[in-house]
Structure 1
Amino acid sequence: SSSSYLLYINVLLLVLIHSSIQTKYLDDAITNVTKRLTELEVLLSESKKKIPSAYRHNTQVVDKIHKAYPRNYRKINDFKICYTRLQTNLNPIKLYEAMKSFEEEIRKDYAVFPEKVFEKIVKFSEELKELSDKSQSNAKNISCVKPENINSEDVTNLENSIKNYQSALVDFNIFNLKKQYYSNLKKKLENLVKNHSEE
């Protein structure tokens, strides 16, 4: 009958409209992710440049303190090694915290899409959590003895130069991981478009 034919046409139109809206959503999301990836490339490049200068500054501070206190060379060196180890163990904790909040941000921004597009990102976060927990228990067991007979300001400068270098490494890793998260999301969204067009 003509009414059932009209109903069929209306349903078909609704399916097509829904399909085109979904495709539009996907296209916009892919454009948005691509834009964010381009912005991240710039941040990643800037962050990479900061690592050598932070390393040089750390080396200069260490050399300066060694020259100022030649008799305490060994104690200063032991403290430097210990404090570097402590900061290195704090890095995965900072990395996990930053990436966990980034994962939540991504999931909120792209909440209209199915859960499967976030599968790899969630897996990344779980792996970072394991690393963070391990580092946390390691850090608890590290206690560094500050060298005696040394100006406290010099010790603070040494601590800060180590922290700054480690922070530069963490920042670079954060931008690098954000890039991986977005690249993975883009791939998943492109697969949705592909699957959509094949339906």
Structure 2
Amino acid sequence: MDNLDSGQFRGAWVWKANAIPKIKCFIWQCCHESILVRAVLAKRGILDFDTCPLCNNYPETIDHLLRSCTLAKSFWESISPPMQANYFYGMNFMDWLRLNVCSVACYGSLGIDWSIVFSIGLWCLWIRRNRVVSQKAKPSLNLKVEVLAKATEYVFVGANVHSAPTKSTIQVKWLQLPVNWFKVNSDGSSLGNLGRAGGVAL
């Protein structure tokens, strides 16, 4: 397993995620504890408090914001991840990110990869948190609709944007003409619609 403390983190899986670039960058920052939640800011000496702005009960770590906070749990329970709850909430945070981002499971009847729903869910949790902190907005309690709408849009609009175009081979060759027939290649130019013109034939 990847381990930042031991220097064994291998994050190639992040860049292979089926997600738009900004979400891949966000996940990468989560892996490196670079998301500026209050616990990170307090650790850097920028804040002197670290309480979660959503639940006001626990330190706002990245894990807390995205998984352990009561509002995050409420969101994930509404989404119903394709794994047992004790496994989903009990595993190491880094393993949790990697296993869900790299999952090949299909989500519900929509036929969307769970990895897509999960990655967009992480991003929407972060955006909701920022609205509460910067805009003093009330936290949305129904992220499920927004996340599934974005996931569906990504699948049908964005997921195949960079797909390689279909290539076909066209064979070009000269065919022998019937007797007494000739082929003429020509080119010409005109100086004005009714002006002088020139041409050549071979």
TM-score normalised per structure 2: 0.21
Q: Which of the pair has more CA radius of gyration?
A: 2
If each structure's strand is expressed as a fraction of its own residues, which one has the higher value?
2
TM-score normalised per structure 1: 0.21
If each structure's helix is expressed as a fraction of its own residues, which one has the higher value?
1
